[in-house]
Structure 1
């Protein structure tokens, strides 16, 4: 019994030391994003920003290369960046890459916006995923909403408000030197080392001064979960999954007992519907596509002289056209 206090001390010490230790101030997180802005990317970035805030890191660098993406995913990222407790640096790199469309908002929402030589930023005009003719009033509302959102971000970060509006309304773009001159970004850096050197000692509003003389760069990699979510939340992949699912169920019902088509089809449909939860889908489009499957199955059971097949093709095409909202 006389060793009990000592054993308790050792137990508590080991329990505390085995947990997640908070990051020291000399640790800078790095995230590399080279893809469209989808729910998978949004989830990855939001979690990384939370981790940086919780661990009180010196800051977090988002190395960005994107052609754009979904507006809702972009908004979630921007909200997380604006609410991050540590300095956030968005660095468009390496040379030849870009921050287009949604990438503009993400870059400008950072505490420090940087670009590498040979990169571009701009072309933030909203576009539709689907192929339906654009409704002018709806399009105008979307553009006005995006302009207001962009202006708010630019004003908060002290960036060029007029340029942001032109990037959204007129799809203008700028090179790294033009962006620096126009007050869109803060720094042009050759590489990551040059970026660290230039931001060292820089004061960030409400977040203190960056002291990076002995900083340790920690790269946050995508988890398997993030990779899978990113893949299936791609609109094209989600659509393909649904087509595979419907085809699998069709073959299973046409050939009862085959099993394999039914297993593949049901699994693909579940994954597709999961992806649709995170995408701007029109459920009328989904219902039309399901209706087309019903017509194809009925064609097997009923002699319609091809009429049900024609109806199935028409509803499939219509459903595919209106599947994704603007």
Structure 2
């Protein structure tokens, strides 16, 4: 019982819901085991990037935990990043759990990166009226590659898709031509030349056709199987939006103009903060930075902005920028974890607001107080003025009066009775003073030199 309570507490602080019944702990975020036959279905559409990789890996993990007959990936993509495609293909080829890629609905396309993913499936299926191919690599932004780089990337991509086709016993020559010549074919042609295994007109038709097929030594039993769709979570929806070409262009412009604006106009704050956040998101979007590193950098940036608010009259701009960076960083940092320890929005939003409030109020005033003049004790009297009651000569002591008390005083200057002096420091129980006129004269000279 005590072990369950400890586990429950860990899950509670991580944002997971749980139920404790009959001394057994059940986590709501984990995939339930199915008594009957079932399949899990995820839909991947749009650009293939880091977010698509995490979604497919999460779907595969949940399908395995649920004991499904297979994971079905509904695919419709024009292509994407090679690094992300490699991660997806590696996960698919290394899995013994049956994976079905279904290019659908009618009119869908498994272009470029989608070709690699489709060929890597245990069972490749296309809907009528769909296309596959055109897997020739292109540079990001559509620019021309130099001859050497182009040759290297083409040779690598061609050998890579060849190895995938060989492992899945598909048409190797066509796979190579899809990269080398940009070949693209319809679903009917793909079935005829052994690029795919089936053509299915809908999910029910697909499940009926793959029923009884053998994958990794196991026979699939998918007829009338329960269909469990795994939707994308908030982080996957948001970050998949970031890798849209038009959004990445906007992030690039914000990063460039924001950082340049801050450098040319120091203290503007908003351009610099926006530029750095946009740059980190851009590096994540192009797969140049792992999601965990991007999350750590954003949280680190948030802490820097929170602390900087204590020393900069930014009127809350740094706190606001820090809150945005903290939220995005936490969203990145925890989205790649197992479902049962992912942080939900019910915890993330209050945590962000609480952190911003903490740094905006307690830390700001606490840090500022460390650099404020002393308000109590004898140190608080430094800089105050006193009246000379007994003459003071260099090397000889006199007395001064302030705050209703007489103090033994010493000075490097000649001070006569009735003169006004300023307290400079304390030397034991003696106070060291200087003439007010000399102090003000030094301040005026320092101001003139600065001007």
**TM-score in terms of structure 2 length:** 0.55
What is the aligned partner in structure 1 of residue 22 from structure 2?
A: 13
2:67 counterpart of 1:56 = yes
Distance 2:162 2:284 in 1: 33
Distance 1:164 1:249 in 2: 44
Distance 1:40 1:114 in 2: 23
Q: Cα distance 1:243–1:192, how it changes in 2: closer, same or farther (>3 A)? A: same
> Is there any run of 5+ residues in structure 2 with no aligned partner, and where?
1-18, 291-451
Deviation at 1:34, TM superposition (A): 1.4
Structure with more of its chain in strand, by fraction: 2
What is the aligned partner in structure 2 of residue 86 from structure 1?
A: 97
Q: Cα distance 1:99–1:255, how it changes in 2: closer, same or farther (>3 A)? A: same
Select the structure of larger CA radius of gyration.
Answer: 2
Distance 2:104 2:51 in 1: 21
What is the aligned partner in structure 1 of residue 255 from structure 2?
A: 245
Q: 1:102 aligns with which of 106, 109, 113?
A: 113
Is the 2:283–2:289 contact (alpha carbons within 8 Å) kept by the matching residues of 1? Answer: no
Deviation at 1:202, TM superposition (A): 1.5
Distance 1:38 1:21 in 2: 25
Secondary structure in 1 matching 2:25: helix
Structure with more of its chain in helix, by fraction: 1
What is the aligned partner in structure 2 of residue 224 from structure 1?
A: 234
What is the aligned partner in structure 2 of residue 169 from structure 1?
A: 180
Q: 2:211 aligns with which of 186, 200, 204?
A: 200
Question: After the TM superposition, which residues 92-171 of structure 1 pair with which residues of structure 2 at under 5 Å, given as runs?
Answer: 92-171=103-182
Distance 1:137 1:110 in 2: 32
Q: Cα distance 1:211–1:133, how it changes in 2: closer, same or farther (>3 A)? A: closer
- Aligned Cα root-mean-square deviation (Å): 2.5
What is the aligned partner in structure 1 of residue 202 from structure 2?
A: 191
2:277 counterpart of 1:271 = no
Q: 1:36 aligns with which of 47, 55, 63?
A: 47
**Higher RCO (Cα < 8 Å, 6 or more apart):** 1
Distance 2:109 2:282 in 1: 30
Is the 2:96–2:216 contact (alpha carbons within 8 Å) kept by the matching residues of 1? Answer: no
**TM-score in terms of structure 1 length:** 0.75
Distance 2:180 2:216 in 1: 30
Deviation at 1:279, TM superposition (A): 6.8
Deviation at 1:215, TM superposition (A): 1.2
Q: Cα distance 1:63–1:84, how it changes in 2: closer, same or farther (>3 A)? A: same
Further displaced range: 61-70 or 48-57? 48-57
Distance 2:124 2:136 in 1: 20
Q: CA offsets, 1:94-138, max 9 Å, x none?
A: 111111111111001111100111001111111111454322222
Deviation at 1:221, TM superposition (A): 0.9
Is the 1:56–1:86 contact (alpha carbons within 8 Å) kept by the matching residues of 2? Answer: no
> Is there any run of 5+ residues in structure 1 with no aligned partner, and where?
1-9, 281-326
The total of aligned residue pairs comes to 270
Q: Cα distance 1:94–1:248, how it changes in 2: closer, same or farther (>3 A)? A: same
Deviation at 1:250, TM superposition (A): 4.6
Q: Cα distance 1:276–1:101, how it changes in 2: closer, same or farther (>3 A)? A: closer
Is the 1:235–1:279 contact (alpha carbons within 8 Å) kept by the matching residues of 2? Answer: no
Secondary structure in 2 matching 1:29: strand
Deviation at 1:150, TM superposition (A): 1.1
Is the 1:90–1:110 contact (alpha carbons within 8 Å) kept by the matching residues of 2? Answer: yes
Is the 2:191–2:199 contact (alpha carbons within 8 Å) kept by the matching residues of 1? Answer: yes
What is the aligned partner in structure 2 of residue 77 from structure 1?
A: 88
